[in-house]
Amino acid sequence: MSDARELSGWTHVYSGKVRDLYVPATTPDDDDDWTGDPLRRSRVVLVVASDRVSAFDRVLEPAIPGKGAVLTKLTRWWLDQLPEVPNHLAYAEDDRLAGLPDVPAGVVERAMLCRTLDMFPIECVVRGYLAGGGWKEYQATGAIGGIPLPEGLSNGDRLPEPVYTPAWKAPLGEHDENISYERTIELVGETVAEQLRALSLDIFTHASEVAESRGVILADTKFEFGADRDTGIVTLADEVLTSDSSRYWDAEAYLTGATPELRMASFDKQIVRDWLAANWDQDEVEEPPTLPHEIVERTAERYRALFERLTLGL
């Protein structure tokens, strides 16, 4: 049986929980004696979003049909809304694209041809509302990411202003770890750390306004950045403002909902998280259970609905 991740003309170099990365199968002659990481060896990388879904850092079964295509469309759409932010997409005029193999038709909807960046090991999380891990931390400490917050906030409440709560990007299979801003300075230096924070907060603020104008609340999100290898410019990479990397809620339900669950009517994988939390005791059972058909369908529908809301308006 052939590997499902095989792509004609491309060499598979890495798989995360959701994305598969490829480099061109043919390498330049002057790289012949290069023995390092194949991803670093290539100046372009094909980032292919699969339909895989992960929650609690585990990849679940089965996949969500159409999810990879929606994530890719959302990322491209958001990058179009952010023309001032340098991003990793390789554009037609880029001479690095000369002589590259075609992107196979079977993955073209899910694929982005990108410049290979030197990724920073930081997940740049921004939260505009209290939810998930942020809500847990607030309940325990009254603060998030070390930033003190007003007393008496409830699950789902809007924060006085968006907060930057970075995490250290753990190697595959390990859990990411929340870190302080000072720790990010130790990891990437003060200049880059400051740029990551400022860019993340700026993009979040702008994206929140765009989403709100379409009746959608952007509650929180996570960005990844890397350094452009030619210029060193801090560049936005990976997926951008997707329903995998963000929490999105329906603005009307938020205003009228009587319970936290109804307020946070989500366009993301909260359905999967909630079902797993109710049906899987992680301490007792090693493997997560298979998602029921109904959960898979509802999640697929929510992902499509977000894209339609954002891009077609209400």
Query: Which of residues 47 and 218 has its CB atom nearest to ligand ATP in the complex?
Result: 47
Structural tokens at position 73: 């469309």
Instruction: Give the three-state DSSP class for 116.
Output: coil
Residue with the CB atom nearest ligand ATP in the bound state = 16
217 touches ligand ATP (CB under 6 A): no
DSSP element (H, E) containing 133: helix 132-141
55 touches ligand ATP (CB under 6 A): no
For residues 264 and 162, what is the distance between their CA atoms, to the nearest angstrom?
Answer: 18
* CB distance 157 to 151 below 8 Å: no
* CB distance 300 to 65 below 8 Å: yes
Residues 6+ away with beta carbon under 8 Å from 218: 128, 204, 207, 208, 211, 212, 241, 246, 247, 248
166 touches ligand ATP (CB under 6 A): no
302 touches ligand ATP (CB under 6 A): no
Instruction: Provide Rg for the chain, Cα atoms.
Output: 20
Q: How many residues bind ligand ATP (CB under 6 A)?
A: 18
Task: Provide the minimum distance between the beta carbon of 27 and ligand ATP in the complex, in angstroms, as a whole number.
Answer: 17
Structural tokens at position 47: 């980032």
Query: Which of residues 18 and 219 has its CB atom nearest to ligand ATP in the complex?
Result: 18
Stretch of 13-21, 128-136, 160-168, 184-192 lying at the interface with ligand ATP (CB under 6 A)? 13-21
Which one among 64, 237, 271, 291 touches ligand ATP, defined by CB under 6 A?
Answer: 237
* DSSP E strands, 50-135: 53-55, 58-60, 111-115, 118-119, 122-129
226 touches ligand ATP (CB under 6 A): yes
Query: Which of residues 19 and 110 has its CB atom nearest to ligand ATP in the complex?
Result: 19
CA dihedral over 203, 208, 209, 210, signed as positive or negative: positive
16 touches ligand ATP (CB under 6 A): yes
Which one among 47, 196, 203, 296 touches ligand ATP, defined by CB under 6 A?
Answer: 47
Which one among 116, 200, 243, 246 touches ligand ATP, defined by CB under 6 A?
Answer: 116
Distances (CA, A) of 309 to 57, 167, 209, 298, 302: 28, 30, 14, 16, 10
117 touches ligand ATP (CB under 6 A): yes
* CB distance 240 to 78 below 8 Å: yes
Query: Which of residues 12 and 17 has its CB atom nearest to ligand ATP in the complex?
Result: 17
19 touches ligand ATP (CB under 6 A): yes
Query: Which of residues 179 and 265 has its CB atom nearest to ligand ATP in the complex?
Result: 179
74 touches ligand ATP (CB under 6 A): no
Binding site for ligand ATP (CB under 6 A): 16-19, 21, 45, 47, 88, 114-117, 119, 172, 224, 226, 237-238
